[in-house]
Every structure is written in C-alpha cells, then in structure tokens.
Amino acid sequence: MSDQLTLQQIRDFKGTYPKQLFYLFGTEMWERFCFYGLRGMLVVFMATELMMPEKQANLQYGAIQAFVYAFTFLGGVFADKILGFQKSLFWGALLMIVGGFVIAAAPKELFYIGICFNIIGTGFFKPNISTMVGQLYHEGDARRDAGFGLFYMGINVGAFLGGLLMVWVGKSYSWRAAFALVGVVMIISLINFAWRRRTFGPIGLSPLHPDLPAAKRKMYEWGTYIGSLAVVPLILLMVTNTAYTDLFMYIVGPLTLVYLAWEMRTFSRAENLKLGAALIFIFFSIFFWAFFEQSGGSLSLFALNNLHPSLFGFPVDTNSVNNAANSLFVIAFSAVVGLVWLWLSKRGKEPNSVVKFGLGFLFLGAGFYIFKSTLGYADENGVTSTEVFTFAWFVITFGELCLSPIGLSLMTKLSPLRIQGLMMGMWFLASAYGQYAAGLLGAGMSAEDPGASNYEKLVLYTDGYGELGLYALIAGGALILIAPLVRRMMQEVH
C-alpha cells in the first residue's frame, strides 16, 4: 500500500506529524552530523595540519562554506527543473560519501579535492530535503511550523553529535578517521532514506513532463550528473584561490536575482508581494549568518588558543564545546521556545515572523557582547573562561531559535509551489553570502603579525566581537521598525 500513496493521503495525516517527517528527520540528522562535524574541523585542521596563518585559514573557511551554500541554490534549481527532490538527494549523498573517503585516503594531499565533492554533494542534498518537508502539508496547515520545528531538532541532534565527536577524533586520534566518518555516516543517511522512499508517493519525483520521451529524460538527468562532476576542477580552482571566490560571489547573487525576476513575471501581484517579503527575510539572514558563522571560523581558533580546557571543573576539548554547545541548547530549549510562542498566541500576543527575526538579532548581539566580555576573565597568557564563552552560546541559541526554524518554513509558505526549490536555494544562497562575509570578518579580526602573542590575539578577537554585537543590535531594531510593512506584504501568512 505504501507505494500507492497519493499526495492527498499523505497530507491528510492524523495527529501532529506525518510519518514521513520522521524518515526525513533521520536522513537529515546524519547528513548534518557530517556537515557540522566537517565545519567544526575545517579551520582547526587548516591551522594545525596545513599550517595556515589564522588570517588565511579564516578566508579559506569562508570560501569553502560559501561554495557549500551557493551550490544549494544550484541544487534547488536542478531539482526543480530536472531531477526532482528524491534523485537530487540520492546524488548529493553519493558525492558526499565519495568526498569523505577521498580526504580520508590522504588528508593533507587530497583535502581540497574531497572538499569539492562535499560542496557539490551538499548542494544537491540540502535544499531539497527541506522542501520535501514543506510538501507534506496542505496549504495553510497550522501544523507545518511544528513539523519544521521537529525537523530543525533533527538537524541539531546531528550537529551536536558531529560537532562533539569529529573534531575530537581528529585532534585526539586521527584526522584520517575523522574524515572517513563522513563517508560512513552518509551511507547510513542514504540507507535510511532509500528504505522509506516509497512512502513519499509523488513528493520529490522528477518534474519533467510525463510525455517527455524516455531517451530525452535520461539525457537531461545524466547531463546533470556528468556536468556536476565536470565542474570539480573549476570549484577546486576557486576554493584554493580566494580571489576567484570573490569574483564568483560578486556574480552569482545578481544573476540569481535576475533569474528570480524572470520567474516572477508569470506570477500575480499578490504572489510577488509575498516573494518580496521572502527576499527581505533572505537579505537580513545574510547578516545573521555572517555573525553567527564565526562559530566555524574565528571562534574555532578562539576556542583552540584562548579557552581554558575545563568546563565547571571537568576537562573538555574546547573545540568540541564550541562546536556542540549551540546544538545542545537548541535541542534542550526549542520545545520551550515553541511553548512560549503557543502561550503568547493563545493570548493574542505572539509576535509575527518579522518581529521574531528582529528578536533573533537582539539575542545575537547580546551573545557577542558576552564573547567580548571574556577579555575581562583572561590571564596574562590570553587564556579565558570556557564557562563565559559557553554562556554566550546559550544566549545566541535563543536568537537562532527565533530566526532559523521559521525561515525554512517561511520559504515554503511565501513561495509559489513551482519555485519552492529555487526559493529554498536562495535561502541557503543567503547563507553562502553570510559564510563568505564570516570569513572576511574573521580574517579582519586576525592578527597581521604571525608572531603576535596569545593575549594580543584575544584582544583583537574580543574587540571584533563587540563590533559585531553592535551591528546585530542595529539590524534587530531595523527589522522591528519595518515589521508592519513586511507583515502587509506577507498577507495571510503569519
């Protein structure tokens, strides 16, 4: 019966969550284990094994992460037009498996080649599974936000486990084993999806017209597969030379907007107003991720060099704390935040999505001011309190919970069905620009002098975090001010 399910049957589920959501939860959880585990290792590996100066490591981190998220846009487009979400997900997972094992074979020599496979693989995988979550629900189904909330918890369970374990395995045991974990865990993710694939009915199947000749269909699909492999040398060139990364980022954003404008000409005024609101959310999310993603860049180096290796008296790996604390707090408090919104909603006082975005920035700004305050707890060697550092992540987590889960949901609510993959890709493309900016900001905070003392590095980083805190507060205030205008553009979407 599972292979006979119609879209209507899937969306008419009883209870709070459709069963397919749990299958996507498991698939995404293991993929996020790999993604966040890799993210937490990148700068540490480049600084300690590839012997890069901190400024270069920050720039390289920003370039790699920018391409990871930029390719989610391209992956969304190819899924929308040719592959469908299911085949796109399979292809992305296979490429990530290859990437992990390539690096594991020779971490120093094949690092960048393996990263290229991971960049393309994540591009095909990431936006499409999020879009499939949105398609499990009827238009206007009030349970959609709860579904994305649970899905977001799956992301963070994977992020917590990967962030905690992978950098520890690399630093304490073997970088080869740490990178091999990517391949092993992605195999688990792929098996999980393949086992339950039939329960998704028509969701995520190829969008190509049923009357298209089979030979032509195969040509389009195999053209996509071969083309995505053919660009590996180009990505390798751009990732290893950040000047090319700059050029790519200057071009891809404007081209994306032109493409979206071309698509928008076929929609009604009401639909285009909603898309305009979605673009405002996308624009502000760039700034949020530019600050937040210091976690994988400058804050990784901060944790490596400037934190005391103990937390409340227990010995810890400080990079594992930096990588995993945020995800642990998300898991612990996402349900609590949801209950607060529900409590306010029953009293007619729940803030709309725009105000929630603004609140996200206010929490983010407060967290960066706490990072700045770690200077006051430092000894003469520039080693400071891991407890205060962790508290900053506790505060920032509430900012993320105000912004990121509803961002995924809003892209599906505000976008016409025909371009939902495109808009989800644009949401992640905004993250690409955020990651790119995060690398530039982290490099700007790094010491120019390679011989700078640990204390001097601490001063530079904490000064930079204070500035980021101020900018975050300004952005949050601006969002709250324009909330009434954006709310009208969103129409019936809350």
Residue corresponding to tokens 């749990």: 22
Token pair, residue 35, equals 């993604």
Cα 339 to Cα 133, 139, 333, 343, 374, distances in angstroms: 21, 23, 10, 6, 32
Instruction: Return the closest-CA partner of residue 23 out of 36, 4, 10.
Output: 10
Q: What is the pLDDT of residue 4?
A: 58
pLDDT at 115: 92
Report how far residue 361's alpha carbon sits from residue 447's, in angstroms, rounded to the nearest whole number.
27
Is residue 205 within 8 Å of residue 90, measured between CB atoms?
no
263 neighbors 419 (Cβ within 8 angstroms): yes
Decide yes or no: CATH 1.20.1250.20 for domain 18-490. Answer: yes
Where does 293-317 have alpha helices with state H? Answer: 298-306
Q: Is the pTM higher than 0.85?
A: no
Quick count: other Cβ atoms within 10 Å of Cβ 332?
12
- Per-residue confidence (pLDDT) for residue 408, from 0 to 100: 67
Q: β-strands 314-315, 310-311: how paired?
A: antiparallel
Query: How far are the Cα atoms of 277, 423, 493 from residue 274, in angstroms, in the given order?
Result: 5, 12, 9
Which residues are 314's β-sheet partners?
311
CA distances from 144 to 140, 271, 488 (A): 8, 20, 21
Burial of 399 by CB count in 10 Å (0-12 exposed, 13-18 middle, 19+ buried)? buried
CA distances from 205 to 132, 174, 399 (A): 10, 40, 35
| pLDDT score, position 387 | 95
Dihedral sign, Cα of residue 438, residue 127, residue 116, residue 182: positive
Residue 475: its H or E element = helix 454-490
**Termini Cα distance of the chain:** 36
Nearest alpha-carbon partner for 416 in 139, 191, 207: 139
Cα separation, 31 vs 118, in Å, equals 11
Radius of gyration for the alpha carbons in the chain, expressed in angstroms and rounded: 22
Residue-by-residue pLDDT tens, the chain, 494 positions: 445 578 787 887 787 788 888 888 888 888 888 888 888 888 888 888 888 888 888 888 888 888 887 787 777 778 778 878 788 888 989 999 999 999 999 998 999 999 999 999 988 887 677 778 878 887 777 777 777 777 877 788 888 888 888 888 988 888 999 999 989 999 988 888 888 878 877 876 777 777 778 788 888 889 889 988 998 998 888 888 877 878 888 887 888 888 888 888 888 888 888 888 888 888 898 999 899 988 888 898 899 888 999 889 899 989 889 988 988 998 888 778 877 877 887 887 878 788 888 999 999 999 999 999 999 998 888 899 999 999 999 999 999 888 776 776 777 788 777 777 677 778 878 888 888 888 888 888 887 777 778 888 889 899 999 999 999 999 999 989 988 888 888 777 66
Looking up tokens 């210091």 gives 294
3-state SS assignment for residue 416? coil
Please tell me the distance from the alpha carbon of residue 389 to that of residue 309, in angstroms, as a whole number: 12
Domain ranges in the chain are: 18-490
Do residues 148 and 405 touch, judged by C-beta distance below 8 A? yes
How confident is the model at residue 1, as a pLDDT? 40
Confidence at residue 371, expressed as pLDDT on a 0 to 100 scale: 94
CA torsion 92→93→94→98, rounded to 10°? 100
* Residues ≥6 apart with Cβ < 8 Å to 1: none
Looking at the DSSP assignment, which residues form a beta bridge with residue 315? 310
Question: Residue 86 in contact with residue 78, Cβ under 8 Å?
Answer: no
Residue count (the chain): 494
Longest Cα separation, the chain: 73
- Token pair of 330, please? 């998300």
Q: Are 118 and 99 in contact (CB under 8 A)?
A: yes
Phi, psi for residue 350 in degrees, rounded to 5 = -65, 130
| SS3 track for 20-79 | HHHHHHHHHHHHHHHHHHHHHHHHHHHHHCCCCCHHHHHHHHHHHHHHHHHHHHHHHHHH
Distance CA 190, CA 92 (A): 10
Residue 193 CA: distances (Å) to CA of 8, 21, 31, 87: 21, 11, 11, 11
